[in-house]
Amino acid sequence: MNIRRMQTDILIIGGGSAGCMAAIRAKEIAPEINICIWEKADFKYSGSIARGMDALNIVCIPNLSDPDLYLEAIQSGCKGVVDSDPSYVMAQRSYDLLKKLEKWGVRFIVDKKGNYRTLQYHVKGRFQTAMDEPDLKLILAQKVLEKNVTILNRIMGISLLKDGDQISGAVGMNTRTGELIVSQAKTVILCAGGQARFNLPNSGYLYGTFDYPGNSGDGFIMGLDAGAKLTGMEYCSSVNLIKDASMPLLAITVTRGGRVMDCFENVIMEGAVNRIDEMNKAVDEGRGPLRISLKHLPEETISEIEHILFTCERPVQERFFRNRHIDFRTHDIELWPTEVQLCGGHGMSGIRVDENAWTGIYGLYAAGDVACVPKQHLTGAFVFGEIAAENAVKVTKNINDVCVDEKKILSILNKKESRENNLDKNIDIKEFEYKVRRIIGDYIPSPKNEYKLHRWLEWSKVFKNDLEMKVKIEDGHDLARLYEIEHIIRCADCSAVAAITRKESRWGDAHFRSDYPETDNQNWQKHVLVLQGDKYENLDTTTAPVSGLNQKEIFHEN
């Protein structure tokens, strides 16, 4: 049996922002505990930030903002469908997080009086705190390595293991060789990111996505199969960003005075990133393409924006704009709708967790984009990475030993070997992924309706059969991509059944149903949960009340 075996106390699946912070925090409070990180790419440069960052979007700086004001802002931004406790705890711990990062050498921008530079990103309050750190991921990686944490690169998680009702480890796969790895673990922290490779980006390039393209929903599906519940999967997030590049821009330019304009020179947004729905509406009405104008800004501000985009964010942007002869002083930046993503960082999708990062399954925690703490951004990844570690350490110390399910491991091995058998298989894997994601784009995003969503579920059955019986595998890399495509298909199933269940429109273009065009707060101001079941082949849905909702129902007032 081509299986590698290992044991650890805490297994962290995903070595990005949340995974790094979880490992560091666990070692801070329990240096004797064994910790292993499975990273799908290379740990040094991995995850959604990969390299640098320009800001923490959520920081409650004393005497400037507080968790109560943040809670009002996020409840308004999420139209009331957000659990208060996790968001409140994140805001409450955000300033201590900033000070911790500062001690590590992360540079935050301060004025001559020592005040942090803050910008308005949310509908209320100035929570976005400017950062100038092009090597943030390197700093995190070094901190992890100093703690004597075991790092295994090129390992993607494909299944969690359970011992009765508690987690006992996971099965992973080497993305280059196809070798299986089994880790017995007392607790697992899922930090595997969201679903970035969903429908096709406007460039048509499979990996030209806004978020890290390795985020193929692995954590969503692992959690679902283990019995966790997903929420917000109907929230199909899409933003107007740099055409053909889908790179971050709005929070950097608009908060510094950039203007989002339509083709008729109407200013849609300026000063704060708080009218995304208006941007989408302008595109839908034929007033696009939208663009960002910086020409009116002073040279000092334009130079600052260039510095951030070309160092802290994605350095490739400098070459991108230069090759297109775009100078921010004389040219506008054309925007275009990005691909849809399912994400707990920029969106509202993921495994439902409480304020302890707990998934409801003993020994299983989730943090970062895989967990639904709506629009938590980088702050949430860091804070809940720490929270997950603190609780995982407590549980780990109370567990003597766990057993892995050998029958399940054998089933996973047999499935892998069947997929490697190329007899009578003739579909190229790249062509297969392209078609899957094109069809997702046809039926899952808004405008949605019952017919379209059920059409996807019909296509899904075809794709699942083709995946097992017709897609040709040449090497370990192809095999890993096949598992990723399976996760993409299953995430689309989750999104479809959640959208079918939510019989209303909410969140603008993120969930607009043409057959239920109005928002229905009386009946649908609640979570739609996706779980294992039989109603939609192997899925089911239920609803749950929003916990700790501010009784003012502030979104009614807007």
Residue 554 has pLDDT above 60, yes or no: no
pLDDT at 182 over 60: yes
Give tens-digit pLDDT for 341-358: 999 999 999 999 999 999
Lowest mean pLDDT among 218-232, 235-249, 455-469: 235-249
* Long-range contacts of the stretch 404-407 (C-beta < 8 A, 24+): 404/161, 404/163, 404/168, 404/169, 404/182, 404/184, 405/161, 405/162, 405/163, 405/168
User: What pLDDT is stored for residue 220 in this prediction?
Assistant: 98
Q: What is the pLDDT of residues 385-410, one digit of tens each?
A: 999 999 999 999 999 999 999 999 99
pLDDT value, residue 558: 29
**Predicted pLDDT of residue 1:** 54
- pLDDT at residue 78 tops 80: yes
Asked if pLDDT for residue 549 goes beyond 60, the answer is no
Question: What average pLDDT is seen over the chain?
Answer: 93
Give one word for 107, left, alpha or beta, with left for phi > 0 and alpha for psi -120 to 50.
Answer: beta
Whole-angstrom Cα distance, residue 249 to residue 244? 13
pTM score of the predicted model: 0.94
Rounded to an integer, the average pLDDT of 10-31 is 98
The yes-or-no verdict on residue 555 having pLDDT over 70 is no
Q: With 90 as the cut, is the pLDDT of residue 546 above it?
A: yes
Q: Is the pLDDT of residue 528 over 80?
A: yes
* Bridge partners (DSSP) listed for residue 53: 133
Q: What is residue 438's predicted lDDT score, i.e. its pLDDT? A: 97
DSSP character at residue 312: I
Of the chain, the percentage scoring pLDDT greater than 70 comes to: 98
Q: Using the predicted structure, report yes or no on whether residue 556 has a pLDDT greater than 60.
A: no
- Mean pLDDT, range 209-216, rounded to an integer: 93
- The pLDDT of residue 83 is above 90: yes
DSSP output for 245-308: T----HHHHGGGT-EEE-TT--EEEESSS--HHHHHHHHHTT--S-EEE-TTS-HHHHHHHHHI
**pLDDT(91) > 90:** yes
> Phi/psi zone of residue 168: left (φ > 0), alpha (ψ -120 to 50 degrees), beta?
alpha
Domains and CATH numbers, the chain: 240-337 (3.90.700.10), 421-553 (1.20.58.100)
Q: What is the pLDDT of residue 59?
A: 96
